[in-house]
Amino acid sequence: MKTKYAIVGIGVRGLGMFIEPLVKEYNDVAELVALCDRNPKRAQVANNRLGTNIPIYTDFDEMLDKEEIDKVIVTTRDSYHHKFIIRALERGKDVISEKPLTIDAERCQEILDAEKRTGKKVTVTFNYRFTPYVTKIKELLKQDILGKIYSIDFHWYLDTRHGADYYRRWHGEMKNSAGLYVHKATHHFDLVNWLLDQEPRRVFALGKLNFYGANRQQRGERCLTCEHSDKCEFYLDLKTDPALKELYLDTEDGDGYFRDRCIFGDRIDIYDTMASLVDFSGGTQMCYSLHSFSPFEGWRMAINGEKGRLDLSAAESFYPENSPNFVDRTNNLAHQDPLKVALGIDGEEESDVIRFYPTYGGMELIEVPRVKGGHGGGDVRLRDMLFRGYSEDPLGHMANSWAGAMSLLVGAASNQSIKTGQPVTILEMVKK
């Protein structure tokens, strides 16, 4: 029998990650029976694109009353996840939630309590766990390649294309997203928690808004009406991007959601430059940073243990030319290591490399073939497990609500630490 899904939140993620694949690729095992969004025009885009006639609701409870649903998928803005997760659990549905589980400790506690009370389950979609590169790192650590792990250096760079995009939308306001420490870094903290198989204990953090927000005089409300558009390196013309136009520009009269708000607006109150120290239940300590106006996008990690060190890095995007024009940066994207581009080694990379340095010398290279697809091939692997089910999950890829909590709380604790100037103990923030 097919599992019946309903989804709330029909934005780019809901559509690309869940709605299209459910309708086109998983229709032998799954049926998408209802769409819910406070802006029905955006939900209608889904039906138009797919040639479907899936019932649309603006009232979540009405959808649950009228449709026969087994599982609810939550892909709204982060600050509302808890509302739909809790309501669905209370109505006897299991839930698949996009990350972050929610944005603060209070809402997190409400979700954990509701799950306990109802006996239904929440799964959090941490797609980065599923990329072949990260999966290989997990395998190596499980085989005890490093012995006891003492420390991790982990640095994530968001660029002036994708990174800037967070500031155009609701993500730029603490009340909606709790900032990139929660919205984005929940991925990163989850990776570390999962790779180490430890829980974070204590955090001390710094954060600043150095580049975006009111750091530039020349600004407007949104790109569409901005007098500085011809001079701005971030000018986004929604009219020239058919997908953004259809989903956001053409639907904005339904809810006033502007997809091209100014990244230098006063409303922006999140940090763009972040650094934290975290210690873990097994004794490991981490030095983490997130920088969101980098010339390239990707991450670097080193895991230092008793038997050696794993040196890791993944290049996500790089613009081979200096491009002060946003559209050029978008069009000139390459998934390449900037150094290889400088050395004239062309072409998309076919593998990522893990470097293992044994403690007393030498180096071993472990190549991991790249796969195509969103988030380094993580999205499709995650979907297969979610929708086709699994009898085995030897590395524990599928994340539950506690994993969701432990990752978002490192970010929430970081926000708190920045405010108080003091370290924050994570386990005091929620009860299991």
Ligand X SMILES: NC(=O)c1ccc[n+]([C@@H]2O[C@H](COP(=O)([O-])OP(=O)(O)OC[C@H]3O[C@@H](n4cnc5c(N)ncnc54)[C@H](O)[C@@H]3O)[C@@H](O)[C@H]2O)c1
Q: Which is nearer to ligand X, 11 or 172 (CB)?
A: 11
Residue 304 engages ligand X in binding (rule: CB under 6 A):
no
Using alpha carbons only, give the angle 105, 107, 113 rounded to the nearest 5 degrees. 100
Q: Which is nearer to ligand X, 257 or 326 (CB)?
A: 257
Residue 8 engages ligand X in binding (rule: CB under 6 A):
yes
Distances (CA, A) of 401 to 51, 118, 180: 34, 14, 20
Report phi then psi at 117, rounded to 5. -65, -40
How far apart, in whole angstroms, are the C-alpha atoms of residue 168 and residue 115? 34
CA dihedral 346, 154, 265, 224 (to 10 degrees): 30
Q: Which is nearer to ligand X, 10 or 105 (CB)?
A: 10
Taking CB atoms, the residue at the shortest distance from ligand X is 11
How far apart, in whole angstroms, are the C-alpha atoms of residue 3 and residue 188? 31
Residue 39 engages ligand X in binding (rule: CB under 6 A):
yes
Residue 179 engages ligand X in binding (rule: CB under 6 A):
no
Q: Which is nearer to ligand X, 39 or 336 (CB)?
A: 39
Q: Which is nearer to ligand X, 98 or 297 (CB)?
A: 98
Q: Which H helix or E strand runs over 353?
A: strand 351-358
Q: Which is nearer to ligand X, 42 or 383 (CB)?
A: 42
> What 3-state class would DSSP assign to 26?
coil
Please list every residue from 367 through 406 that binds ligand X, using CB under 6 A.
375
CB of 222 to ligand X, least distance (A): 15
The region of 11-19, 147-155, 287-295, 330-338 touching ligand X under the rule CB under 6 A is: 11-19
Residue 353 engages ligand X in binding (rule: CB under 6 A):
no
**Candidate list 71, 82, 93, 99; residue touching ligand X; CB under 6 A:** 99
Please list every residue from 220 through 279 that binds ligand X, using CB under 6 A.
255
- Inter-residue contact 429 to 411 (CB < 8 Å): no
> Cα dihedral sign for 407, 11, 268, 228?
positive
Which positions lie near ligand X, rule CB under 6 A?
8-14, 37-39, 42, 75-78, 80, 98-99, 125, 127, 183, 255, 375
